[in-house]
Structure 1
């Protein structure tokens, strides 16, 4: 990795491996825009709080990452997060592709993509296998994730 933007992404994923949400958030600009299939679009401190919540609940967690490519003010990477889903205790191996936009040495946009049906099959078991590809179950997953984040943020503020 020969440029500062690739080093920024390396720092972000190294912090992720270490379950260090504060170091991950330090890679973000104040006006970060984060998006993924579960949480949808998060902005600003909300994105850092998502990592704080997720990493505070992480069980049997490991992360591998690589294929970091940075060109100009954009970067891409791949990672595999392995963990136990807190609600069901089931093991999840989530393969994620990320795209980043970078400005002044900070991540201003991060878009993570992964197969939500594959995730739901692992996290929810038979229900995810049978219904995880439907909009009803996927919308419920999203609603529960957003509610969990809102609850976490309320508790953190008090």
Structure 2
């Protein structure tokens, strides 16, 4: 992107009112519903605010997606620290299209967003559905799903197009992603 990086966050208002006045106290109570917390989580992510994300996560936060597999605790948070600290290099833009409550679990929110960035110089547009588990106003678990063959084709070119649907490529992607995370964590501890 010429002239710098644009970060865009298009979020619907979860309640129309960000905070409500308590009937029993004069303090303002922040909405801790899964939709409100997931909205705050993605606002912090989109702004590159790792500390804001960290403050919204439980100590035992877990993340899972096809690229990294399952990450727990510091490792999961370090992935976001890596993403937010390298966003200028990757020209990352995250566009949230929808945040809604899960129909099957009142403690979860479903977030549909688009990640636009460069991977090894290749432009990638990834449509992601994220399921966020919120416990006591904090993000405990995040599971992201996306079309791996489509992502592999964009990020890896011909190799991804040919082998994007094969398990061996998924395993190779996870190994490389985790090796990259290990290297980042050794230089940038939480």
Q: Normalising by structure 1, report the TM-score.
A: 0.91
Report the Cα distance in structure 2 between the residues aligned to 1:148 and 1:57, rounded to whole angstroms.
Answer: 12
Residue 47 (str. 1) matches residue 76 (str. 2): yes
Q: What count of residue pairs does the alignment treat as equivalent?
A: 155
Residue 125 (str. 1) matches residue 157 (str. 2): yes
**Which residue is equivalent to 1:64?**
95
**Which residue is equivalent to 1:105?**
137
Residue 79 (str. 1) matches residue 122 (str. 2): no
Report the Cα distance in structure 2 between the residues aligned to 1:108 and 1:132, rounded to whole angstroms.
Answer: 30
Report the Cα distance in structure 2 between the residues aligned to 1:100 and 1:117, rounded to whole angstroms.
Answer: 24
**Rg (Cα) greater in structure:** 2
Instruction: Tell me by how many angstroms 1:115 deviates.
Output: 1.1
Q: Helix, strand or coil: the match of 1:149? A: helix
Q: Helix, strand or coil: the match of 1:19? A: coil
Report the Cα distance in structure 1 between the residues aligned to 2:54 and 2:161, rounded to whole angstroms.
Answer: 33
**Which residue is equivalent to 1:34?**
63
Instruction: Tell me by how many angstroms 1:100 deviates.
Output: 1.3
**Which residue is equivalent to 1:14?**
43
2:185 aligned residue (135, 153, 157): 153
The ranges of structure 1 where at least 4 consecutive aligned residues each deviate by more than 3 angstroms after the TM superposition are: none
Question: What's the CA shift string for 1:69-96, capped at 9, x where partnerless?
Answer: 12531111100010011xx200000111
Given that residues 123 and 155 in structure 2 are in contact (C-alpha distance below 8 angstroms), is that contact kept between their aligned partners in structure 1?
yes
Question: What's the CA shift string for 1:90-130, capped at 9, x where partnerless?
Answer: 00001110111111100111111011111110011111111
CA RMSD of aligned residues (A): 1.4
**Which residue is equivalent to 2:32?**
4
Report the Cα distance in structure 1 between the residues aligned to 2:108 and 2:168, rounded to whole angstroms.
Answer: 34
**Which residue is equivalent to 1:91?**
123
More helix by share: 1
Report the Cα distance in structure 1 between the residues aligned to 2:165 and 2:172, rounded to whole angstroms.
Answer: 12
Q: Normalising by structure 2, report the TM-score.
A: 0.77
